[in-house]
């Protein structure tokens, strides 16, 4: 079996791209994924799965262990599909000074990028940008809303 097929099948199992019947077959997990999705499809699934994990604590740019593991799997999918490129956007809530938020949002994007590059993705395939609090996805007047806004977003280019 080719290495790309093995990587894609493993990622399909990791990110739930296989049916529940295929997941139950533990003796031959690669054989269960007879018709794996493309590396691009697996990367898209990984991105969707990552969205809820790329959240940060107040004034922090540290990724949680679950996010790191999922980013490592995304890196594997990207290595199997060398034409994929990503944009990583860091965001903050509205607390703190504008200059601090701009710097923090850029550091958050760099933290995500660092995991990918440390796992073999070429830096020229990743564009990063910090947006401070300019693009909230939730209301910054509530603790829950501020928590949702402290995030990084990854988009495929």
pLDDT (average), residues 126-145:
97
111 and 42 within one domain: yes
Residue 14 above 60 pLDDT? no
120 and 48 within one domain: yes
**Closest by alpha carbon to 47, among 119, 136, 152?**
152
pLDDT digits (tens, 9 = 90+) for 77-123: 899 889 999 999 999 999 999 999 999 999 999 999 999 999 999 99
132 and 61 within one domain: yes
Q: Which domain holds residue 52?
A: 38-156
Residue 117, φ and ψ in degrees, nearest 5: -70, -35
pLDDT (average), residues 114-142:
97
Residue labelled with tokens 């969205």: 51
d(CA 59, CA 77): 31
How many folded domains does the chain comprise?
2
Residue 57: CATH number of its domain:
3.30.1330.60
The pLDDT assigned to 35 comes to: 56
**Closest by alpha carbon to 67, among 43, 90, 46?**
46
144 and 109 within one domain: yes
49 and 4 within one domain: no
Q: Annotate 75-142 with three-state secondary structure.
A: HHHHHHCCCCCEEEEECCCCCCCHHHHHHHHHHHHHHHHHHHHHCCCCHHHEEEEECCCCCCCCCCCC
**Closest by alpha carbon to 7, among 115, 82, 68?**
82
93 and 30 within one domain: no
Please say whether the beta carbons of 121 and 66 come within 8 A: no
pLDDT digits (tens, 9 = 90+) for 108-119: 999 999 999 999
Mean pLDDT value across the chain: 82
d(CA 55, CA 37): 28
The pLDDT assigned to 20 comes to: 39
How does residue 157 score in pLDDT terms, banded at 50, 70 and 90? confident
């Amino acid at each position: 079996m080719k290495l790309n097929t093995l990587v894609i099948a493993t990622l399909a199992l990791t990110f739930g791209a296989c049916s529940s019947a295929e997941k139950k077959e533990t003796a031959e997990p690669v054989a269960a994924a007879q018709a794996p999705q493309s590396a691009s499809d697996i990367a898209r699934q990984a991105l969707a799965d990552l969205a809820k994990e790329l959240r940060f604590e107040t004034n922090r740019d540290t990724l949680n262990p679950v996010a790191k593991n999922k980013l490592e799997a995304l890196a594997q999918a990207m290595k199997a599909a060398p034409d994929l490129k990503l944009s990583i956007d860091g965001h903050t809530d509205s607390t703190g000074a504008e200059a601090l938020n701009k710097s923090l949002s850029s550091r958050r994007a760099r933290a995500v990028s660092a995991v990918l590059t440390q796992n073999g993705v070429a830096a020229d395939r990743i564009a990063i940008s910090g947006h401070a609090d300019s693009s909230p996805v939730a209301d910054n007047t509530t603790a829950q809303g501020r928590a949702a806004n402290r995030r990084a977003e990854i988009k495929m280019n």
